[in-house]
Amino acid sequence: MYNIRLADYVPEPKPVTGDYLVCAHYYAAWKKGAARLHNGFDDLHDYPERTPLMGYYDEENPEVCDWEIKWAVEHGINCFIHCWYRNKENEGKPITVKDLRCAHDLHEALFNARYQKYMKFAIMYEASKRWGGTNAQDLREHLMPFWMENYFQRDNYLLLDGKPVLFVYDTWNQVRDAFTPEEQKAAFDECREYAIRKGFKGMIFALMNNTMDPAEQADIYARGYDFRFSYSLPREEQRRLPPEAEMLEEHKRILEKHVKDDPMRYTMTVCCFRDSEPRRTKAWVDQGFNFKPEYEWYLSPESFRQVVRYCRELAEKLPEGAIGKKIIMVDNWNEWDEGHFVSPSCGYGFKYLQAIREELTRRDNLPDYRLPQELGLGGYNTSWEIPDFTGVSRKDWYALR
């Protein structure tokens, strides 16, 4: 039956409903040559459990994006936060799409996807020092106009209270070090005024930051950020592959501590696992990347479900107006090689997505678990070294485990 075409295109999504914006981080590195820092799927041949259930794919294909939208919204993820990279040599200059790294996920895929109306999106400005930073003039004259024209004004960009949300990843403090706290707040306030002139009610800035230090938190908000969030799990104890029961309790403990210390302006992130083994290569070591074995940890889908449930219980107890009552974040949709993903895979099927659906939604839909190859669709890999799996049965897919 697997060579018979049973559908002309990706079946239309049937979104589940819920009370939260469930925002999953999205790493676009799966167009051949786009990542530059690694080899994408070609680094994963020895890790068949990390093979996506649709097979290796060319991420710039809008049909691939429509499958991702369908699987996400049918399980409660209703927003993708796309990593946004500016090339270092473009810093301080006018921006075009050609000046970006891995922009295909938005400009080639999502913006041409048939089902994009079902999925909200936002961008996370990746400001680590290998990518372009900014200052007040550049933010005002180059970044904000580009973001406004290309993203914020689109119908499905993430708004809170009529304000576009910009996520910022500044772990190396490239943005912070370009400003004093007063200067950064003033620059952000200029951006808010600019957004108001464009018809919005302002702007919201969110920083990836795991600090428990009250003084550091105060500095973040003095700089004009509206709330904080985590990317992956901020481990307290670095030990390779700790027992799952310990990781489950650590995850809960970290969430509870953040919420207790910063209840109004911290939004929780649920994480499934983290294992960067494919990136721990000589090439990456030579580039200065630090992927040590002691960072590796796993939660089974059932333990992940318990974390999601606990996150919901904490969110329900937050004060009115707290950002954590609106947004729950998921890390990550598709970090296949860095080793944290909830997207359907040969190793875990849809189990992580099912945990999200069953704990964070009303479960008022019927997800469609037919795979592209079962409908006679596919052929999404024209670039990667191994062939795609069009025509392969579900039984054979799971034999890859």
Pairing of strands 79-86, 21-26: parallel
Q: Which two tokens stand for residue 89?
A: 């040599």
Instruction: State residue 292's pLDDT score.
Output: 62
Instruction: State residue 333's pLDDT score.
Output: 98
Interatomic CA distance for residues 128 and 220, integer angstroms: 17
Neighbours of 398 (CB within 10 A): 12
Instruction: State residue 282's pLDDT score.
Output: 47
Instruction: State residue 295's pLDDT score.
Output: 77
Q: Is 257 exposed, middle or buried (0-12, 13-18, 19+ CB in 10 A)?
A: middle
Which residues, 6 or more positions from 292, have their beta carbon under 8 angstroms from its beta carbon? 238
DSSP assignment letter at 2: T
pLDDT in tens, 37-47: 889 999 999 99
Neighbours of 169 (CB within 10 A): 22
Residues constituting the chain = 401
Instruction: State residue 289's pLDDT score.
Output: 61
Q: How far is CA 345 from CA 13, 55, 398, in A?
A: 19, 9, 9
Instruction: State residue 285's pLDDT score.
Output: 57
Residues of the chain with pLDDT under 50: 1-2, 282, 390-395, 397-401
Asked if 73 contacts 13 with a C-beta cutoff of 8 angstroms, the reply is yes
Cis peptide leading into residue 112 (ω within 30°)? no
